[in-house]
Every structure is written in structure tokens, then in C-alpha cells.
Amino acid sequence: MFKKLGKGLKFVDFCSGIGAGRLGLELLGLTCVAHSEINEYSDYTYKVFYNDNNNLGDLTTLEYDQIPDSDILIAGFPCQTFSIVGKRAGFDDVRGQIIYHLKNILVNKNIPYFIFENVKGLVNHNKGKTLNDIVELLNNAGYSVAYKVLNSVDYGVPQLRERVYFVGIRKDLYTKPFIFPSPIQQVDIKDFLLPSNNDILDINHPTFQKYLSNNYNKDRVNINKILGQEYTIVDTRQSDLRVYVNKCPTLRAGRHGILYVLNGQLHKLSGLEALLLQGFPKEYVKKAINIPDSRLLSQTGNAMTVNVIRAIGKCLLEYIENNLKNELGMKHQYI
């Protein structure tokens, strides 16, 4: 039913990155009519995945008649300005002002629904004022807004990735509160790894040994014990090493260094594996085989999680379907 209904709906993919949000909605049968991305390398990967040359470009400079009509607008609007790893400048940063442009597009194109994504840090940025300002902005624009922090690990990928998601429903279409998807059973990380002899880390390398013996890790990290635990995930953060069981920490755009244990050796997490951990199916991973690994790692760190968007999209389609049923029921009463 969702696939059938989704085929009648169109969406525009703003701040599209490599298209994880697009894929989440396309898997439900929706059709992407255009996308907007200013990073040329991300857009290159997007084209590899979707063979789509219809990039609208910088959304801040668009004329509204350049934007195709659509039923849904999806956007992972820039998060760096709200992230705990950034300066948290919020609206004082030009990237934090993208939300105003998205609001104007929603209003001028009269788009019925939207799905937005941002970092969890947005929730408490400026003691919650930024979040309240965004919700008020969208509410005043004519949308009922629901938001919730969801963790990707609860939706079919073994990645600990908390993000805040917004769903907006134009007020003339609003009939009841939007309910976000419930968590599903967690999965095994070994099904998301593609080990190779080329990605093995030399634990005896002086740089790694120096890292293990720094003030944060010395007398705390037992590397031999870690190597004895298959599929243990190791995050070599800037100072301290952290260990996870059957779960990957949040993929990051600006800093890599996630490892995993297999056959008593440490393997470096690859860009292709990162795609899998963001919910991209293997047929998409195969398309990305020639894209530089470091680039893919950065791009996946900035991406949405396909599974989460698909789950949210399914709930939104259910909402739309119920509205259509109610509308048909009302018409039937007057026949």
C-alpha cells in the first residue's frame, strides 16, 4: 500500500549530500524531481548513485520558479553550526541561516509536507532557544511541526547516531499529531563489514604505539585483550581510545579512525563499509568502488541514515493515507 501511494508523490532533496534522504524516500516509491547541493564532491557521488544531473545548486540564490512542484521537501540542513564539535555559532553562522531559506521555499511553493534532519546538539543549543525559534519559524509559516531525537541503531543499522528529525505538516492538512516510528530489533555488525587484507592496521607502528601510551590511554587500554574480542569496534578518538561491542560509534565527517577486530587484527573501517552503516544497500556500495576512501568516509559522516528516513517516510505516508481515507469518507456522506 505504501509503495503504491508513494508512487503518486514527488519530493525535492535539498542540502542533499550524497542522497541518503533521497534513497530513504525512493525505497517507499516516491519520486525525486530535483536536488540541491553546493559541494561538488558530494554531488559527484550523488550522480554516481542516481545518474541525476538536475542539481539546482545553491538554494539561497534560487528563484522559486526554478524549483519543481513537489509534495515533500526533505533537507539535512547544515549542522556544523549547531554541533558540539563545531563552534556552535547557531544563527550567527551563515550555515545556520539556511533554515530561513528552506522556510521561504516551503511557503512560496506551498509544499504540503517536509522532513528535516540535524544534529542532536541542536536540541539544547543556546539552552533550547534555537530549537524553539526554528519550530516557531515553521509554525508561523503555516506548518504543524513534530520533532524527536532518534538513534540510527534502533532502525536496522549498527551505528550509534543520534539526530533530531522534524516532520512538518501544512496546517490545512493537519488532522492529528504525527507519531515517529518505533524502534526495531537491532542487528549484527558483522553483516555490515567488508574486511580486506589491505585495510589492516599495524599495531606495532610507532605512531599507534605512541597513541596507546599517551596520558589518556596508558594503563587503561589493553590492546591484546581487545584483539581477542571478535568484531569489537575501536574508536581512535583524538586523545582517548574507546571500545564498543557490536555497535559503531557515530560516523564523523571531519575525523576518521574507526577500527574493528577480526581474526586478532585491527581493520580500518572503509568508506564502503561506512555506506553500509548508513543504510545504503550493497548495489549502491558497488557503484562507489572507485570513489576515494577518505572522501566517502567524510561524505557518509555528513549523510542521513537511509533506514531512519525510510521509517519516518513510511509513517508520513500512513498519515497521508489516513487523511485521504477521511476525505473520501466525508465526501461519501454527502453523496
Residue 73 CA to residue 176 CA, distance in Å, equals 20
Segments in the chain forming alpha helices (H): 2-6, 20-26, 40-50, 98-109, 129-140, 206-212, 223-227, 271-277, 282-287, 293-302, 306-333
Query: Is residue 248 flagged as an active site residue?
Result: no
Nearest residue to 252 via CA among 167, 163, 168:
163
DSSP 180: P
Residue 235 CA to residue 271 CA, distance in Å, equals 15
Given 15, 32, 79, 248, the catalytic residue: 79
Residue 145 CA to residue 134 CA, distance in Å, equals 10
Residue 1 CA to residue 28 CA, distance in Å, equals 10
Whether residue 150 contacts residue 117, with contact meaning beta carbons closer than 8 Å, is answered with no
Catalytic residue numbers, as ranges: 79
